[in-house]
């Protein structure tokens, strides 16, 4: 026998569980500190286990099953619409990339037109040029709104996910 | 209550796997029979290890929910039950982690409307058990109330089978000392 183990552990545990002790084993458990601990702990745990099992108030199994069933259906539905969300996101990304590519590609031509507009803006000091200024503001505003709406759509798509 | 607990297969061989979704692993009647056999001992385990009846009820429902989502081909009754206990143990671990993070107190279970003798016995025994660490409570409960072998305890707790003997002997010594200090040891 060493400090923490004893060859009779198993037999003592069985006896403590069943309550059937023979005299030799009882004498051994009284003298051996390892087996005394086993006998005491097993008896305590059995008593507490019995007490805990007898406590009333188990939830209704039907309710658990139906809740699980509903959660599973909900998850299946979420899985089903996931490809649509992915398609939406891809379409948004594609739109943004296309718009950006067109802007970059067409920038030299656009730039020269903007220069023309700038010139018109300088002439706006005279009272007769007000409609040209409005045109410039309209183009700038539209461009800003376009980019802003793309950003909002992208954000909404991500937030939904 | 929801849990982040992922169903893992470690230690359970190749038998259990998470279902891809759609249907549950058991029909309602089979589940009811399985529940009747396993729920009293599972609730007792959850109740004593968590030290809180309300938490134990939540975890019990969550454990069965995870169980119902798992495919268990060729697993016998004992294996199925120990797998359920493994799920419950992981949920307990999540619960203790969350409670620690949020610094929530872990209240003791309120006594039920029961005979005064049982309340007395419970109020003697339960505080002693709750003084142990959650892992120690799990070990002792699985070994001495559920009667699982060292190998099974190791599988449920996700520990090495060889370490169970040593851990169990330490817990036993600690609990025996606590019981004797409170005069709950043998009369001799
Ligand atoms: Zn001994």
Residues A95 and A139 in one domain: yes
In this structure, is residue A70 part of a structural domain? no
Q: A45 alpha carbon to ligand 1 midpoint, in Å?
A: 19
Q: Does A61 touch chain B (CB under 8 A)?
A: yes
In this structure, is residue A63 part of a structural domain? no
The mean per-residue pLDDT over the stretch B59-66 comes to: 95
Give the contacts of B104 (CB within 8 A, at least 6 positions apart): B98
Q: B55 alpha carbon to ligand 1 midpoint, in Å?
A: 39
pLDDT > 70: percent of chain A? 87
CA angle in degrees (0–180, nearest 5) for A59-A62-A66: 110
Question: Rounded distance, CA A138 to CA A133, Å?
Answer: 9
Of the residues B108, B142, B177, which one is the last residue of a structural domain?
B108
Q: What is the pLDDT of residue B183?
A: 82
A contact test, residue of B41, B145, B148, B187 with most A CBs within 10 A: B145
CA angle in degrees (0–180, nearest 5) for B128-B133-B136: 90
Cβ within 8 Å, pair A5-B165: yes
Question: What is the domain-level CATH number for residue B119?
Answer: 1.10.10.10
Residues of B with Cβ-Cβ distance to A79 under 8 angstroms: 21
Residues B111-142: tens digit of each pLDDT: 454 556 666 666 777 788 999 999 999 999 99
Question: What is the domain-level CATH number for residue B70?
Answer: 1.10.1740
Yes or no: say if B41 and A53 are a contact pair by the CB < 8 Å rule: yes
Token readout for A18 is 């069943």
pLDDT-based confidence at residue A149 (cuts at 50, 70, 90): confident
Residues B97 and B125 in one domain: no
Yes or no: say if A121 and A136 are a contact pair by the CB < 8 Å rule: yes
In this structure, is residue A99 part of a structural domain? yes
How far is C-alpha A19 from the geometric centre of its chain's CA atoms?
51
pLDDT-based confidence at residue B96 (cuts at 50, 70, 90): very high
The pTM is what? 0.70
Q: Does A18 touch chain B (CB under 8 A)?
A: no
Backbone angles phi, psi at B82, to 5 degrees: -70, -30
Q: For residue A29, what are the domain limits?
A: 9-56
The mean per-residue pLDDT over the stretch B100-107 comes to: 65
User: In the predicted model, is pLDDT for residue B3 greater than 50?
Assistant: no
Question: Rounded distance, CA B135 to CA B20, Å?
Answer: 32
The mean per-residue pLDDT over the stretch A70-80 comes to: 86
Yes or no: say if B34 and B55 are a contact pair by the CB < 8 Å rule: no
Q: For residue B99, what are the domain limits?
A: 1-108
The mean per-residue pLDDT over the stretch B66-92 comes to: 87
Yes or no: say if A32 and A26 are a contact pair by the CB < 8 Å rule: no
Calculated CA dihedral for residues A35, A37, A40, A44, nearest 10 degrees: -130
SS3 category, A120: helix
The mean per-residue pLDDT over the stretch B38-52 comes to: 94
Q: B135 alpha carbon to ligand 1 midpoint, in Å?
A: 25
ipTM confidence score: 0.78
Domain count, chain B: 2
Residues B171-183: tens digit of each pLDDT: 999 999 999 998 8
Q: B159 alpha carbon to ligand 1 midpoint, in Å?
A: 26
Residue B51's closest chain A neighbor by CA?
A: A52
* Contacts by A70-78, CB closer than 8 A, 24 or more apart: A71/B65, A72/B21, A72/B22, A72/B23, A72/B24, A72/B68, A72/B69, A75/B21, A76/B21, A76/B22
């Amino acid at each position: 026998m060493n400090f923490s183990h004893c060859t009779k552990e198993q037999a003592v545990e069985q006896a403590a569980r069943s309550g059937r002790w023979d005299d030799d084993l009882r004498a051994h458990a009284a003298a051996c500190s390892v087996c005394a601990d086993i006998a005491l702990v097993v008896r305590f745990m059995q008593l507490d286990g019995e007490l805990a099992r007898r406590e009333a108030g188990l939830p209704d199994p039907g309710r658990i099953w139906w809740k699980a069933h509903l959660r599973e259906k909900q998850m299946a539905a979420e899985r089903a619409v996931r490809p649509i969300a992915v398609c939406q996101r891809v379409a948004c990304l594609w739109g943004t990339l296309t718009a950006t590519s067109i802007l970059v590609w067409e920038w030299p031509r656009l730039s020269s037109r903007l220069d023309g507009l700038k010139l018109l803006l300088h002439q706006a000091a005279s009272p007769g040029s007000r409609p040209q200024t409005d045109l410039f503001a309209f183009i700038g505003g539209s461009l800003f709104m376009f980019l802003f709406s793309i950003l909002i759509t992208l954000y909404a798509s991500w937030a939904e996910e | 209550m929801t849990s982040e607990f992922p169903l893992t297969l470690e230690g359970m061989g190749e038998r259990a796997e998470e279902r891809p979704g759609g249907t549950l692993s058991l029909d309602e009647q089979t589940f009811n029979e399985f529940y009747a056999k396993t729920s009293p001992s599972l609730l007792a385990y959850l109740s004593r290890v968590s030290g809180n009846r309300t938490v134990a009820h939540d975890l019990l429902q969550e454990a069965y929910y995870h169980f119902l989502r798992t495919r268990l081909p060729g697993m016998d009754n004992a294996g199925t039950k120990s797998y359920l206990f493994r799920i419950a143990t992981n949920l307990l671990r999540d619960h203790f982690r969350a409670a620690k993070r949020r610094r929530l107190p872990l209240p003791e279970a309120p006594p039920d409307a029961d005979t005064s003798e049982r309340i007395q016995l419970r109020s003697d025994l339960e505080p002693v058990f709750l003084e142990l660490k959650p892992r120690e409570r799990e070990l002792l409960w699985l070994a001495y109330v559920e009667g699982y072998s060292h190998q099974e305890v190791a599988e449920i707790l996700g520990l090495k089978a060889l370490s169970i003997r040593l851990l169990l002997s330490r817990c036993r010594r600690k609990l025996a000392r606590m019981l004797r200090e409170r005069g709950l040891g043998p009369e001799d």
